[in-house]
Every structure is written in structure tokens, then in C-alpha cells.
Structure 1
């Protein structure tokens, strides 16, 4: 009987340890899933940060190109630009590098040269200035 009671206690202790082990195993699986979810979220956030950084750079480049085009078109930001001096030189107007007739108002990507007009943009496959393959372009509005 004493041997039987010891066996029952050992079996009960073994069952308790098995249940405890199962609970810890289930918790481990739950925690591993949480880790995977956090890794996926971190990867998504890295992608979002990269996208926002590229967008910020593109917007800065577009703003710079707009200012460059404004300057080329004779638009200036300072108060002195309203003063008309007959001896003053006119600002350079950037002609299209393809037709040489219209103002270059299209920014070629990825090199970011503002070198073609809207009329020539569709026909251009490479940048007329540097020869880089054009992936897309954007018209500068002013």
C-alpha cells in the first residue's frame, strides 16, 4: 500500500509537471508568434521609412528643380527683381535640348535634368544631357 501511494504521488507529480510543461510550451509558441508579428511589423515600418525618405528626397529635388526653372524663366524672389534697369542682363532661358524652340519644363528621371519641353518629352527615351535611360519624367509647373 505504501508503494502504491508513492506511485500515485509520483504519477500525480509527473502529470502536474507534464501539464506545466505543456502550458510553458503553449506560451513559448505564443511568444514566438508575437516575435514573428513584431518582426513583420518592423520590416513593414522599415519599408515605410524608406518610402518616406525617398518621397522626401523627391520632393526636395522637385522643389529645387522648380526654383531652378523659376530662375531660368526670370522669376526671382527678392524685392530687387521688381526694379527695371535697362542695362541689366536678362536671365538665361533654358531651351529644350531636343527641339531648341520651347522652354525645357520637363524633369527627366532618374538623372533629374530639366532639359526637354512637354512636346518632346514623349519621344525622349534617354536624357539629352547625360544619356541616362529615362524611367519617367515630371512636368515642372510655374
Structure 2
């Protein structure tokens, strides 16, 4: 089973795929990011994210997607922009018939680090450790995406 994790962002959308091996343990399959330029219009940026995630889904064939749920934003414009990005990612999943599971940022951190208020660096370190990697996962948005995938794996393992 492959689980695609997404950390949605307009400037950088992180992605990461873990594959569950025959022993039920997660292994790194792939990770990366989609970067958009502020000089591009919003629609071009959102479409670029959609197109890359759609291509990734078609190439890797994950069975599920896990992503951060909507967070509280004091800036309304930021919240609306994030909604556009999240919608584009969800449409890419839905187009391929992949179910989307959403987790609160605190739940993802709790699942991976054991502390819902963990820093991004702590999440990055634990993702690296849980997947048995020697190198640091960069950019940090990709480690956040892998953390979402690991959260799904932890939650389904607890059932």
C-alpha cells in the first residue's frame, strides 16, 4: 500500500509517499515539493500544483491521500488562498478515485513526535528516524507531508 501525504502551500506544496512493506512497516517511496513563483497569477500557481500532484498520483498510484486539515488563520486572505490549494489537491485525488483523509496539524505532530506542539524541526527529525533515513528531508514541507502520511498509517494501525 502507498500513502501520499500532502503539506499544502501556495509557495511550496510538499509531498511524500510512503509504502507499507510486507511486515506492515512504512518505507520511503518518494518525496519532493512543488514550488510556485509569486510573480505568477493565483490561477497559474494553483494549476501548477494541481498538475504536478495529478501527475504524481498517475505515476506512483497511491491508494490514499493524507493531508493537513484547515487550520485557523488570522489572515483571511491566507485562509482563502490555502483553500484554493487544498481544493486543487483534493480534485487531483478525486479525479483518480483516491480517498482523502484530513488530520489537524496537532494530531499529525502528536502521531509522529508524541507532542502536538512540536516544532517543524522536531517533526522533520522524527520522520527521518521513523523512515530510517540518513539524510535530512528537505524542504521541511516534504517532511510535513511525510508526517501526514505516517499519521494515516498510525491511525489505521490503531484500529
TM-score normalised to the size of structure 1? 0.24
Point out which structure has higher relative CO (alpha carbons under 8 A, 6+ apart): 2
**Rg comparison, structure with higher value:** 1
Q: Which has the higher strand share?
A: 2
Q: Which has the higher helix share?
A: 1
TM-score normalised to the size of structure 2? 0.22
